[in-house]
Amino acid sequence: MANDRIADHGLLADGRSAALVDRNGSVNWWCPERFDAPSVFARLLDPNGGHWSLRPRGRFEVHRSYLPGTLVLRTVFRTGQGEVTVTDGLALEPGARGHQIGRRSPRALVRVVEGVSGVVPMAMSYCPRFEYARRDAYLVRRDGTLRATAGPTTLTLDASLPLASTAGEATLDFEVHAGQRETFTLRYAPTYGEAPAVPTVDDPDPLAETVLGWRSWAEEHPFQGSYAELVQRNALVLQGLTYQPSGAVVAAATTSLPEELGGDRNYDYRYAWLRDFCLTLRALWVAACPTEAGRLFDWVASAVGRVGGSQVPIMFGVEGERELDERTMETLRGYADSAPVRVGNEAWRQRQLDVLGEVLDAAWRLRDHLDPMPEEIRDLLRDLADQAATSWREPDAGMWEARDAQRHYLSSKVYCWVGLDRAVRFGERLGDADDLARWTRQRDEVRETILREGWNADVGAYTGAFGSDRLDASVLVMPIIGFLPAADPRMRATINLIDRRLGHNGLLRRWDGDPATFHLCSFWLAQCLTLAGERDRAARLFEIIASKANDLGLFAEQLDPRTGEQLGNFPQAFSHIGLILAAWQLSTASTGATYSEEGYP
């Protein structure tokens, strides 16, 4: 089946790339070289985009789950003839444990079929389509394997059973008896490079090292608080979205899954945003450990480099690339015919002033790990503070990346305040007396301006932009980052009004007219209610939002309030970050801890 529901998919990851496999046993998305590389399977975006299906013939029921503490997926197929399991994983390198997993991925997708009871007829279909379905594959049998090459990419399929093939597809019909095991291994290698060692079909347990690797990471990162199991599962998802060679965390594993069916807001999210950076780092700090948070900050510092007076890029490729020009893939129809399919993201050219504060805020969170502070980090942070001091009065594209016009977005001003506030807190570690005086003056002026211009008395709330009467859920960051207490009368009125006007059964849209609710904003609301002293109400809301994940605990970006369908790129880091931070906020409230002046861990 093509264009299965977004939420029907599970995530496989190996520290460099991600694959999505649906409930029917079809791998519908994989970019094996790295997250943002060309796809070899893209049926998620087009019926003819390429796939690798492994499923029973005839009718079946499905139950699936991750092996505990891993991103190895086990699907149980129950049929009238018996029961069979398919265990899927992107292989991790043998022997890698803890923080070392994923650094040198074998680039191999392993699928293990095991008979549980009876005799189950099975069918396999393997149809790679290279470079976003621009190239058909020609399969060549070599040394008992099927090899497909298209330009720089070579795939080699090995199986414990003989495969039949035509020019562009391999098929296999076979039966699995109780106790029988069959193994399939698909490995990627650059056509003109050396192929890495991968698990073989003769290996008695080809995913054993992968399971041990994931569990070693999970065991090092226990979360002591409410919803511990849920937080750890979401932390694993963030780890799965991490490009391990650099430490960058991508916003999602996919491109062009639509915010609205039939709409054109279909963007490529396989990159790392500074917009997400601050929240990502906090979530890693809470749910993992400072090692991951520190690696992420090191990557950002390296990617941004020396700023001076130039515009700070808002996003990067996973190895720090800046030019991410957007183009349309005419070879793919789009998910549910929602065109266009885009590769690259033109938002890299935008100015978003919030990034200045996000990087400074992250540095403040890591201040103990930046003592002594390296000279290049000090220069970067000083440049960012100087930019916040001089540019906060200017309009920008805002955190939702508006493509129509620049505005004086409230959240952007708030994050400029955050940047200046953290710079002042660093004190002499960051600037001299003149710097600190200048940053302090600008910080106070930003705050006064936000409180005066951001409040709309006619609406009775802080609105999304100066002079606007439009509510925007992005202003919920104000209490979360410590700009205003949630119990402040105007802030409390804003929270209540956003809940009433943008809410749908507890879930929030970003703005009035947004076609779907946005998971991160819903979790922000739960955080704000907790900070306002309404923990029971916040907990009920949190549990409603958490229940909207799919059966594997995965979130897309948004949820259609009419149909309950998940929409947008998948899985979305923002959504999982929101869950982790809301769970932390609830845990802090349940322990009776006092509200910290920063308002977050």
Q: Is residue 54 part of a domain?
A: yes
CA distances from residue 527 to 105, 359, 533, 578, 585 in whole angstroms, order as listed = 37, 22, 10, 9, 6
Q: Is residue 256 part of a domain?
A: yes
Q: How far apart are CA 327 and CA 340, in angstroms?
A: 9
What's residue 403's pLDDT? 87
What's residue 590's pLDDT? 63
Phi and psi dihedrals of 56, rounded to 5? -70, 150
CA nearest to 573, candidates 212, 224, 263, 278: 278
Same domain, 469 and 409: yes
Where is the domain boundary, 193, 216, 239? Answer: 216
Q: Is 225 exposed, middle or buried (0-12, 13-18, 19+ CB in 10 A)?
A: middle
Same domain, 101 and 171: yes
Q: Is 379 exposed, middle or buried (0-12, 13-18, 19+ CB in 10 A)?
A: middle
Same domain, 192 and 227: no
Q: How far apart are CA 13 and CA 102, in angstroms?
A: 9
What's residue 516's pLDDT? 95
Where is the domain boundary, 216, 250, 277? Answer: 216
- The answer to whether the CB of 517 falls within 8 A of the CB of 556 is no
Where is the domain boundary, 216, 236, 262? Answer: 216
The distance from CA 102 to its chain's CA centroid, rounded to whole angstroms, is 17
> What does DSSP say about strands 327-328 and 342-343: parallel, antiparallel, or unpaired?
antiparallel
Q: Is residue 598 part of a domain?
A: no
CA nearest to 352, candidates 293, 282, 268, 408: 408
Q: How far apart are CA 434 and CA 423, in angstroms?
A: 13
Same domain, 206 and 255: no
Cβ neighbour number for residue 390 with a 10 Å cutoff: 12
Number of domains composing the chain: 2
Q: How far apart are CA 245 and CA 483, in angstroms?
A: 35
Same domain, 516 and 558: yes
DSSP structure class, residue 349? G
DSSP structure class, residue 303? H
The distance from CA 383 to its chain's CA centroid, rounded to whole angstroms, is 29
Same domain, 466 and 482: yes
Same domain, 209 and 345: no
Q: Is residue 601 part of a domain?
A: no
What's residue 410's pLDDT? 98
What's residue 2's pLDDT? 45
Phi and psi dihedrals of 94, rounded to 5? -60, 135
Phi and psi dihedrals of 220, rounded to 5? -80, -5
Q: What is the CA radius of gyration of the chain?
A: 24
What's residue 1's pLDDT? 37
> What does DSSP say about strands 327-328 and 566-567: parallel, antiparallel, or unpaired?
unpaired
Which neighbouring-strand residues pair with 396? 407
Q: How far apart are CA 171 and CA 146, in angstroms?
A: 11
Same domain, 194 and 249: no
Residue 389 CB-half CA count within 13 A: 20
Q: Is residue 599 part of a domain?
A: no
- Note if the bond before 571 is cis, omega within 30 degrees: yes
Task: Domain of residue 315: give its range.
Answer: 221-590
- What residues contact 84, with CB distance under 8 A and at least 6 apart? 56, 76, 77, 113, 114, 115, 116, 120, 122, 176
Q: Which domain CATH number covers 62?
A: 2.70.98
- The answer to whether the CB of 156 falls within 8 A of the CB of 170 is no
Q: Is residue 276 part of a domain?
A: yes
What's residue 146's pLDDT? 93
- The answer to whether the CB of 26 falls within 8 A of the CB of 52 is yes
Q: Is residue 204 part of a domain?
A: yes
DSSP structure class, residue 91? P
Q: Which domain CATH number covers 575?
A: 1.50.10.10
Q: Is residue 596 part of a domain?
A: no
What's residue 13's pLDDT? 98
Q: How far apart are CA 136 and CA 134, in angstroms?
A: 7
Averaged pLDDT, groups of 10, the chain, 601 residues long: 79 97 98 96 97 97 97 98 98 87 87 98 96 90 88 92 86 97 94 73 87 91 86 93 91 97 93 84 73 76 82 92 94 95 94 93 88 89 95 94 92 98 96 97 98 98 97 97 96 98 93 94 97 96 97 97 95 96 89 43 46
What's residue 386's pLDDT? 96
Same domain, 171 and 255: no
DSSP structure class, residue 347? G
Same domain, 367 and 332: yes
- The answer to whether the CB of 39 falls within 8 A of the CB of 28 is no
What are the helix and strand counts (H, E) for the chain? 14, 29
Same domain, 61 and 145: yes
Q: Does the predicted TM-score (pTM) go above 0.85?
A: yes
Q: How far apart are CA 414 and CA 525, in angstroms?
A: 17
What's residue 147's pLDDT? 92
Same domain, 244 and 363: yes
